[in-house]
Amino acid sequence: MRYAVVGTGAIGGYYGGMLANAGFDVHFLFHSDFDAAWSNGLRVNSVNGDFEIEHINAYNSTASMPKADVVLVGLKTLQNRLLPELLDPIVKDGTLIALIQNGIGYEQELQEEFPEARVCGGLAFICAEKTAPAVVSHYDYGKLTLALHGEDSCDSFDAMIADMEEAGIDVVRADDLNTARWKKLVWNTGFNGQSVLFGKNTEELLFGREKEMYVKPAMLEIIKAAQANGADVDESFADEMIEMTLNMKPYYPSMHVDYSHGRRLEVEAIYSRPLRLGLAKGVEMPVMEEIEKRLRKING
């Protein structure tokens, strides 16, 4: 199969790079890093072993890219407004579009935009960031959970998972996209915004007062909202996420990285959308409301 990566930052660079390093046909869309990628290729400095794709299929426009069987979207949700224009040249009948993003509900929106395609959600549990032009640093974890949007089976989905397994990616197939999305939100709402508000990494948040004030309370509110919206997750999942985080290398989440670089934050995807969905079901979410209000103020 032919793969296209739209958004070659930490997420697209790592997973797309793993596929390309294993010999699969992968084509990468770059923006500001195009010149670096064209000259030097893509480098991934990984805890599991460094590698470099010297002769990379690099593009600065999807208009010059070939049609793809699978598109991996690694853009932040803040850029989703660009997806119709970006994807149109590379999507064909039956193309599988994998949204490896935060948030909830974006698969449905994209399916309506591209009815001829199939859409799946991707949830990356990974500590990674782009540390230089066309250079990704992978510090810990790397599991990618994938779930189809819609009830019909999809041959391309099965083939993609097989390719990723062959490439050494820790990939998990989930049957329930809604539950998978809400579970990812449990971790995101517990740590992402709080790392910005308090200027602390994951370990510091867990050993400071923020755990009692914001981290676990936010997680428990999201779990209640998830349950009200049909997700299969119980309150013990908050402790599971905290235990997992204690075992990982101390890390500044993606929202803190964006904040430190002066970029806008994914407040809508990680906080506002799930907050609205919870409140609409009558769930009381005072901690989430306070975090969202403070982060929106930072976003201006």
Cα separation, 138 vs 263, in Å, equals 21
Total Cβ atoms within 10 A of residue 297: 9
Residues 52-99: pLDDT tens digits?
999 999 999 999 999 999 999 999 999 999 999 999 999 999 999 999
Residue 281 contacts by C-beta under 8 Å, 6 or more apart in sequence?
225, 228, 229
Closest CA to 4 of 121, 131, 91, 75: 91
- Please, where in the chain does CATH 1.10.1040.10 lie? 178-299
Give the per-residue pLDDT at 152: 84
Q: Residue 88: name the closest of 157, 154, 4 by CA.
A: 4
Nearest-angstrom CA–CA distance, 57 and 9 = 15
Q: What whole-number distance in Å separates Cα of residue 170 and Cα of residue 183?
A: 18
CATH superfamily of 178-299: N-(1-d-carboxylethyl)-l-norvaline Dehydrogenase; domain 2 (1.10.1040.10)
Query: What's residue 91's pLDDT?
Result: 98
Which segments of the chain have a pLDDT < 50? none
For the chain, how far is it from start to end, CA to CA, in angstroms? 43
How crowded is residue 49: how many other Cβ atoms within 10 Å of its Cβ?
10
Element (H, E) at 29: strand 25-29
Which are the contacts of 89, defined by CB distance < 8 A and separation ≥ 6? 62, 63, 65
Nearest-angstrom CA–CA distance, 106 and 108: 5
The string over 134-147, giving b where at least 16 C-beta atoms fall within 10 Å of a residue's C-beta and e elsewhere, is: bbbbbbbbbebbbb
Domain with CATH 3.40.50.720 in the chain: 2-175
Tokens of 37: 């990628």
Closest CA to 270 of 291, 285, 284: 291
Quote the crossing angle between the two packed helices 273-280 and 177-198, to the nearest 10°. Answer: 120
**Residue 217: its H or E element:** helix 216-228
Question: Residue 144 has what pLDDT?
Answer: 98
Residue at token pair 């690694």: 74
Q: Are 95 and 68 in contact (CB under 8 A)?
A: yes
Task: Answer yes or no: are the C-beta atoms of 66 and 91 closer than 8 Å.
Answer: no
What amino acid positions are annotated as catalytic residues?
Answer: 184
Q: Are 5 and 33 in contact (CB under 8 A)?
A: no
The dotted CATH code for 2-175 is 3.40.50.720
Residue 99 has, within 13 A of its CA and on its CB side, a CA count of 28
231-244 tens-digit pLDDT: 999 999 999 999 99
What is the pLDDT at residue 251? 86
